[in-house]
Amino acid sequence: MINSDELLFVVDENNNPLEPKSRKEVHAKKLWHRTSHVWVRNPKKLVLCQRRSIMKDFAPGMWEGFFGGHVSAGGDYLDSAKMELEEELGIKADKADFRNFGIFKSESWTEFQGIYGLLWEGNTKDLKLEEEEVEEVAWFETSELRKIFGREDDDWNVQGNELEVLAWLENLE
CATH number at residue 80: 3.90.79.10
Q: Are 115 and 37 in contact (CB under 8 A)?
A: yes
- Domain of residue 35 covers 7-170
Secondary structure tally for the chain: helices H, strands E: 4, 9
C-alpha span between 75 and 125 (Å, rounded) = 31
- Does residue 101 lie in a domain region? yes
**Residue 2 domain-assigned?**
no
pTM comes to: 0.95
> Is residue 38 in some structural domain?
yes
pLDDT at 57: 82
Q: Does residue 85 have a pLDDT over 70?
A: yes
pLDDT at 152 over 80: no
pLDDT of residue 6: 87
Read off the pLDDT of each residue in 67-76 and give the average, rounded to a whole number.
Answer: 94
Distance CA 61, CA 75 (A): 28
Residue 146 included in any domain: yes
Residue 33 contacts residue 12 (beta carbons within 8 Å): no
Is 1 within a domain?
no
Evaluate whether residue 30 is within a structural domain: yes
In single-letter form, the type of residue at position 140 comes to: F
**E-assigned strands of the chain?**
7-8, 21-22, 33-41, 46-52, 63-64, 67-70, 98-106, 111-119, 134-141
- Residue pair 17/11 in contact (Cβ under 8 Å)? The answer is yes
Domain presence at residue 22: yes
What pLDDT does residue 138 have? 98
Q: What is the mean pLDDT of the chain?
A: 94
Inform me whether the pLDDT recorded for 173 exceeds 90: no
The domain tally of the chain equals 1
Q: Is 153 part of any domain?
A: yes
Res 163: pLDDT: 95
Percentage of residues in the chain having pLDDT higher than 90: 87
pLDDT digit string, tens, across residues 11-41: 999 999 999 999 999 999 999 999 999 999 9
Q: What is the DSSP letter of 101?
A: E
Residue 1 banded pLDDT, cuts 50, 70, 90: low
